[in-house]
């Protein structure tokens, strides 16, 4: 298994998505490290087409960019990155000079899922950048410059992405051929102190996402976290929610929803995918309302082994609907209105958040300046003020190298 440099590991673990190149083996080989959502990883493993796109952007000094385009649905997923380090620039230059490369793909919780040997071919034209050298190309020097470089790069790939063309740029699209694919299971520690392995071959994407959320929450809540707890109302026992976690001040009830990945899904339009996500969000919110009411009634709660669960409070609750991805659309307004209605009627906070954004929020909440609940409340207030669920958290302490 390829182990990235310390420099690159710091960057990739801090980012939600990205693709980074670096040289290794004394400059003889190139590694491409990609980080993306689990659904896209499964689609790649199932044989969907992928492309590497290399761009040259002429700002005050020439800049290089790299992107991975994954055709996991009818409208492909684009993951673009502008290098922050000289090591990355040399890696991209190595690809332009025809190096074969090792591709390592990481998921949302920064676990490597599989690797393969790759080669590229260009159907349109060669790079024609023979004069390019590591000394001529500089990394982006600020977040503002990086955003403008990436905007120009994405515009060059397709104006359809809706970005601004700040600088003249050019790009070459490369088809990727993979061989010697090696799947790498990764280990999860659950709240019950049990260990389980996951891999990209699993057909239960919803169950995988649920387990990964429970694993990641373990770092925040330590002991007070329960996977699939039960509630008994009268003589009827059912699952309370997918995950229950609590502190002395608040309860967090989580429902996890995921769209399955398969060949049929790749033919579904983005509009239909948005409709499916909205349907999942509404269903999860309805389930959370029922679960919060059960907690407020002080119904009997037990874990998977029948042991009593005693939250410190029953009055202060957050209901969190986690969906596998978020695609912006005006149609989410009906979900916002439902969230506001449920919040008012139940005197509780309700949230809809994508799985990758939840993981990033938990990372931010690991800082000494803000906790998980504060992050959620800020998201809730931003949703009400801006009438959108498309909210991305940013941690200013993360590195810009």
Indicate the pairing of strand 112-121 with strand 168-183.
antiparallel
pLDDT at 280 over 90: yes
Q: Both 138 and 203 in a single domain?
A: no
Are 92 and 58 members of one domain?
Answer: yes
Torsion sign, CA atoms 386, 392, 393, 396 = negative
Residue with token string 């299971």? 185
- Asked if residue 14 and residue 44 are part of one domain, the reply reads yes
> Of the candidates 275, 298, 145, which has an alpha carbon nearest to the alpha carbon of residue 153?
145
Residues 179 and 40 in one domain: yes
pTM for the structure as a whole: 0.77
Q: Look at residues 134, 157, 183 and tell me which one is the last residue of a structural domain.
A: 183
Whether residues 140 and 200 share a domain: the answer is: no
| Element housing 372 (H / E) | helix 372-386
Q: Is residue 395 part of a domain?
A: no
Q: pLDDT digit string (tens) for 346-393?
A: 999 999 999 989 988 988 887 777 889 999 999 999 999 999 999 987
pLDDT digits (tens, 9 = 90+) for 114-168: 899 998 886 555 566 555 555 578 888 888 889 999 999 999 999 988 899 999 9
Whether 283 and 298 map to the same domain: the answer is yes
8 A C-beta contact, residue 382 and residue 237: no
Q: Are residues 338 and 296 in the same domain?
A: yes
Does residue 357 lie in a domain region?
yes
Could you tell me if 238 and 131 lie in one domain? no
Q: How many helices (H) and strands (E) does the chain have?
A: 9, 18
Say yes or no to pLDDT of 264 above 80.
no
CB 185 within 8 A of CB 195: no
Residue 233's alpha-carbon distances to 238, 251, 297, 304, 342, in angstroms, are 8, 19, 9, 16, 21
State the CATH number of the domain containing residue 290. Answer: 3.40.91
61-77 residue pLDDT tens: 788 999 999 987 656 88
Q: Are residues 166 and 291 in the same domain?
A: no
CA 45 – CA 129 distance, rounded (Å): 32
Residue 328, in any domain of the structure: yes
Average pLDDT value for the chain? 85
The pair of structure tokens assigned to 296 is 């407020």
- Residue 19: inside a domain: yes
> Burial letters for 78-92: b for 16+ Cβ neighbours within 10 Å, e otherwise?
bbbbbbbbebbbbbb
pLDDT digits (tens, 9 = 90+) for 308-340: 999 999 999 999 999 988 988 999 999 999 999
Q: How many domains does the chain have?
A: 2
Q: Which of 158, 183, 208 is the last residue of a domain?
A: 183
Residue 399 lies in a domain: no
85 and 174 both lie in a single domain: yes
Indicate whether 377 and 262 sit together in one domain: yes
> What is residue 387's DSSP assignment?
T
Q: Which of 140, 162, 183 is the last residue of a domain?
A: 183
Query: What confidence score (pLDDT) does residue 99 get?
Result: 73
173 and 227 share one domain: no
> Does the pLDDT at position 400 exceed 90?
no
Residue 334: inside a domain, yes or no? yes
User: Is the distance from CB of 218 to CB of 226 less than 8 angstroms?
Assistant: no
Domain range for 165: 6-183
Band the pLDDT of 258: cuts 50, 70, 90.
Answer: confident
**Residue 249: inside a domain:** yes
Average pLDDT (90-110) is 86
């Amino acid at each position: 298994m390829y182990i990235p440099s310390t420099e690159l590991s710091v960057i990739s673990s801090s980012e939600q998505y990205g693709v980074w190149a670096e040289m290794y083996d004394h400059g003889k080989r190139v590694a491409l490290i990609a980080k993306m959502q689990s659904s896209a990883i499964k689609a790649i493993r199932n044989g969907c087409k992928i492309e590497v796109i290399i761009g040259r952007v002429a700002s005050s000094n020439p800049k290089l960019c790299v992107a991975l385009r994954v055709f996991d649905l009818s409208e492909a997923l684009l993951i673009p990155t502008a290098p922050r380090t000289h090591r990355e620039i040399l890696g991209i230059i190595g690809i332009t000079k025809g190096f074969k490369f090792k591709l390592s793909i990481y998921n949302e919780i920064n676990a490597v899922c599989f690797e393969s040997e790759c080669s590229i071919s260009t159907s349109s034209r060669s790079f024609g950048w023979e004069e390019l050298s590591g000394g001529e190309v500089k990394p982006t020097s600020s977040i503002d410059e990086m955003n403008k470089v990436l905007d120009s790069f994405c515009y060059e790939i397709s104006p359809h992405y809706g970005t601004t063309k700040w600088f003249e740029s050019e790009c070459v699209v490369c088809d990727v051929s993979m061989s010697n694919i090696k799947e790498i299971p990764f280990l999860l520690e659950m709240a019950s102190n049990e260990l389980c392995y996951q891999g990209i071959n699993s057909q239960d994407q919803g169950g995988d996402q649920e387990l990964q959320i429970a694993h990641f929450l373990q770092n925040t809540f330590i002991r007070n976290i329960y996977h699939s707890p039960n509630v008994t109302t009268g003589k009827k026992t059912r699952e309370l929610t997918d995950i229950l976690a609590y502190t002395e001040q608040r309860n967090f009830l989580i429902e996890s929803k995921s769209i399955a990945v398969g060949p049929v899904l790749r033919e579904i339009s983005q509009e239909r995918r948005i409709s499916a996500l909205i349907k999942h969000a509404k269903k999860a919110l309805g389930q959370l309302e029922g679960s919060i009411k059960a907690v407020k009634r002080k119904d009997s709660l037990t874990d998977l082994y029948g042991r009593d669960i005693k939250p410190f409070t029953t009055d202060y609750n957050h209901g969190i609907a986690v969906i596998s991805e978020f695609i912006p659309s005006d149609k989410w307004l009906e979900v916002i209105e439902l969230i506001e209605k449920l919040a008012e009627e139940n005197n509780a906070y309700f949230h809809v958040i994508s799985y990758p954004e939840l993981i990033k929020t938990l990372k931010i909440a690991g800082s000494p300046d803000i906790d998980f609940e504060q992050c959620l409340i800020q998201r809730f207030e931003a949703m009400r003020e801006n009438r959108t669920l498309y909210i991305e958290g940013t941690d200013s302490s993360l590195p810009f190298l």
